[in-house]
Chain A
Amino acid sequence: MSEPISALNHASYEGIAKVEECGLQGMITLRGDLSDKVLAKAVKDATGQKVPGQREAFVDGDTGVCWMSTDELLVLVPYAEVEAKLAAMTNALSGTHALAVNVSDARAVFRVSGANAREVLGKLAPVELSAEAFQPGQIRRSRLAQVAGAFWMDDAETFRIVCFRSAADYAFKLLKVAAQPGSEVGVY
């Protein structure tokens, strides 16, 4: 069995904020009726979290659940456990109109941390990122320059960013340029 390696294998960059590729992250896309009790229990069993409301993200380390749309959740689990969690989830949802798919290897995850993290993201996404508008516990699906990306905050100065693995190199270069030393804008 070959050893799984993430897109950029923990590449990192230090500028006005620290940019890191987080490595492998287990991810399950779950689609279905989010008000369904069976689905809620499957999410609870996999992550220990309740089903998030509109644009909420309940993430603790590499486990959690994020709201992606009115009928879609992103379930985060440790990479090593994703097959077992997916099997349990698929089993629990067998009688329900729902679909769970392992998308771990289709994604790349980045962390941007530091006092200027909001600035770095603010340069790339058309999103209001002031402390009043965007807080830990929220997720925002948007774009990073030309590619789709979603992000949430782990704490007041740390963003976690998810994008497609095929765009990982592009996204990392974007973040590096946005975090260049001396490029502070001073808006946030």
Chain B
Amino acid sequence: MLILNCPYCGVDAEETELAAGGEAHLKRFGPGSSDDEFHDYLFMRENPKGVHFERWRHANGCGKWFHAARCTQTLEVFGTYSAQTTEPPQEIKDAITAKRPGWSWREFS
């Protein structure tokens, strides 16, 4: 059972109250981009065993989207943070480094 703290309403919401929104921090490649970039944007997703960043929505709650950093292997949650950002905040990165030294995920580490 996954329990995430919603950064908007401060509730410790369990999985059935949330809706998964796939991978976080995707950069959109739209009109004007190359076919390869567009292909990667549409189809290429991370599938790590370990540190992962995801989007979640507090669907049966405040209805807001937020980001979560967690470990896919142990279900450990490193933290949740606002959706209004293009990269994980430093305190989330620090929390992950404390538990998983040397981690990397896409361009973040």
Give me the interface of A with B, judged by CB distance under 8 Å. 54-55, 68-70, 72, 126, 128, 140-143, 148
| Cβ-closest chain A residue relative to B63 | A69
Count of CB-CB pairs between chains A and B under 8 Å: 33
Determine if A143 and B16 form an interchain contact, defined as CB atoms under 8 angstroms apart.
yes
Determine if A142 and B17 form an interchain contact, defined as CB atoms under 8 angstroms apart.
yes
Name the one of B8, B10, B14, B63 contacting A126, with C-beta atoms under 8 angstroms.
B14
A70 in contact with B64 given A55-B11, A141-B9 (CB within 8 Å): yes
Determine if A69 and B62 form an interchain contact, defined as CB atoms under 8 angstroms apart.
yes
Residue among A126, A140, A148 with most chain B CB within 10 A: A126
Known pairs A126-B14, A141-B60 / 9 extra A-B pairs, C-beta < 8 Å: A68-B62, A69-B62, A69-B64, A70-B8, A126-B17, A128-B12, A141-B9, A141-B61, A142-B60
Determine if B8 and A69 form an interchain contact, defined as CB atoms under 8 angstroms apart.
yes
| Cβ-closest chain B residue relative to A141 | B61
Nearest CB on A from B67, distance (A): 16
Main secondary structure of the interface of B (DSSP, over half): loop
Main secondary structure of the interface of A (DSSP, over half): strand
A148 contact set on B, CB distance < 8 A: 60
Nearest CB on B from A48, distance (A): 25
Nearest CB on A from B56, distance (A): 15
Determine if B17 and A54 form an interchain contact, defined as CB atoms under 8 angstroms apart.
no
CA distance A51 to B39 in the complex (A): 47
Determine if A55 and B61 form an interchain contact, defined as CB atoms under 8 angstroms apart.
no
Determine if B10 and A55 form an interchain contact, defined as CB atoms under 8 angstroms apart.
yes
CA distance A55 to B12 in the complex (A): 13
Nearest CB on A from B63, distance (A): 6
| Cβ-closest chain B residue relative to A133 | B12
B10 contact set on A, CB distance < 8 A: 54-55
B62 contact set on A, CB distance < 8 A: 68-70, 72, 141
Nearest CB on A from B5, distance (A): 13
The interface bits of chain B over 3-37 (1 if a CB of A lies within 8 angstroms of the residue's CB, else 0) are 00000111111101100000000000000000000
